[in-house]
Amino acid sequence: MSPDISETFIQGMPKAELHIHIEGSLEPELMFELAGRNGVALRYASVEEVRRAYDFSDLQSFLDLYYEGMRVLLHEQDFYDLTRAYLQRISAQNVRHTEIFFDPQAHTDRGVPFETVVAGIRRALVDAEQQLGISSKLIMCFLRHLSAERAMETLRTSLPYREWIVGVGLDSSEVGHPPEDFKAVFDEAREHGLLTVAHAGEEGPPEYIWQALDDLKVSRIDHGVRCVEDPKLVERLREEQIPLTVCPLSNVKLRVFDSIQDHNLKRMLDLGLCVTANSDDPAYFGGYVDENFHAAWEGLHLSRDAVYRLAKNSFWASFLGAERKQRLLNELDDYFASHS
């Protein structure tokens, strides 16, 4: 752990977040508020009881609670309030840019119209740009435990809102749902000019990362921590500097690694990979992006240079235009220069 880094240093450091599921930022307090407002019954008596339930054995045990929690989201204002609360949190952590995933099928399958979801999120993003100076992009994820046909229908439903969405992703239960199953959907998404990303190598094998690269033509891999099992894959990711949006606290909570000390984030940086640090589902995993930087720095004894690289990669790997990207990279360099 580098002594010239501190919690305050990390908090003030300009950074971007590239892997956050907006539904995973639903804090229990807001869950209760929305449940009351919308007349939705929860099976928990208190906020504390909800938090106590967040003891996961794997990805699926989390997803079960994640889909249950989001039943309180019904109206446009609910999606606005959810997104607004996340943006206020990250504003206090000096996150200057964020790329947000949303799971439309988890809402449309409950009867909530696509427009309700995307309009509420979008309104909060526009307000945050004006009021908090946070830029953002929206990435629509397909639920891979559902069929490719349903993903295709979702893509087509989204087209009237094409201008609000920068790309598509693939999330939910990984093992048994390989990226290659979604090749046609991703082909069509790219024909509409959408960028592509995919969760791969979180619980699934390196083969899924190969498929995400070759079949889905992704610009980034979400998680990707299992890439180290395949030296040829590491070489490809390093050569092409394919960004990996790693989520340290998530990986510990979902038992991908036994502890933060066992996490391979530092090893991946040392291998020359383009690694970033992100929160995934902050309300469920014990922290937003700062807490993830802090856990990685403290748990893995990251050097000042390693922390710098994580922050620099976050801007470099973003889907921002060249001008703002460069401005934020300069802001980061100024920050390090003025804290040396």
Active-site residues, by number, are 202
Partner interacting with residue 278 (select from Zn ion, ligand ADE, none; CB below 5-8 Å by kind): none
Cα–Cα distance for residue pair 138/119, rounded to 1 Å = 12
Q: Closest Cα to residue 256, out of 289, 295, 223?
A: 223
**What token pair was written down for 231?**
């030296």
Cα–Cα distance for residue pair 308/166, rounded to 1 Å = 26
Cα–Cα distance for residue pair 303/113, rounded to 1 Å = 47
Residue nearest to Zn ion (CB): 280
Give the per-residue SS3 of 154-176.
Answer: HHHHHHHHHHHCCEEEEECCCCC
Question: What DSSP assignment string belongs to 221-253?
Answer: EEE-GGGGG-HHHHHHHHHTT--EEE-HHHHHH
Q: Closest Cα to residue 209, out of 194, 195, 198?
A: 198
Strand partners, 256: none
Least separation in angstroms between CB 204 and Zn ion: 13
Partner interacting with residue 313 (select from Zn ion, ligand ADE, none; CB below 5-8 Å by kind): none
Our finding on whether 59 is near ligand ADE (CB under 6 A) is: yes
* C-beta of 17 vs 171, nearer to ligand ADE: 171
* C-beta of 78 vs 171, nearer to ligand ADE: 171
Counting every residue written for the chain, the total comes to: 340
* C-beta of 19 vs 84, nearer to Zn ion: 19
Our finding on whether 99 is near ligand ADE (CB under 6 A) is: no
Least separation in angstroms between CB 245 and ligand ADE: 10
Quick note: the x/- pattern for Zn ion over 261-280, rule CB under 5 A, is -------------------x
Least separation in angstroms between CB 139 and ligand ADE: 12
* C-beta of 24 vs 299, nearer to ligand ADE: 24
Q: For residue 152, give the H/E element and its range.
A: helix 148-158
Residue with tokens 């989520």: 247
Our finding on whether 172 is near ligand ADE (CB under 6 A) is: yes
Cα–Cα distance for residue pair 97/87, rounded to 1 Å = 10
Our finding on whether 224 is near ligand ADE (CB under 6 A) is: no
* C-beta of 21 vs 226, nearer to ligand ADE: 21
Least separation in angstroms between CB 142 and ligand ADE: 11
- Residue 173 and residue 63 in contact, taking contact as beta carbons nearer than 8 Å: yes
At residue 127, the 3 state secondary structure works out as helix
Write out the binding residues for Zn ion, residues 133-192 only, by CB under 5 A: none
Among 13, 17, 24, 307, indicate the residue that binds ligand ADE (CB under 6 A).
24
Least separation in angstroms between CB 55 and ligand ADE: 16
Cα–Cα distance for residue pair 333/336, rounded to 1 Å = 5
Our finding on whether 103 is near Zn ion (CB under 5 A) is: no
Partner interacting with residue 24 (select from ligand ADE, Zn ion, none; CB below 5-8 Å by kind): ligand ADE
Write out the binding residues for ligand ADE, residues 304-333 only, by CB under 6 A: none
Which 8-state DSSP code applies to residue 103?
-
Q: Closest Cα to residue 182, out of 224, 226, 149, 219?
A: 149
Our finding on whether 177 is near ligand ADE (CB under 6 A) is: no
Strand partners, 97: 16, 135
Total residues binding ligand ADE (CB under 6 A)? 11
Total residues binding Zn ion (CB under 5 A)? 1
* C-beta of 78 vs 281, nearer to ligand ADE: 281
Partner interacting with residue 27 (select from ligand ADE, Zn ion, none; CB below 5-8 Å by kind): none
Residues making contact with Zn ion (CB under 5 A) = 280
Residues making contact with ligand ADE (CB under 6 A) = 21, 24, 59, 66, 171-172, 199, 202, 250, 280-281
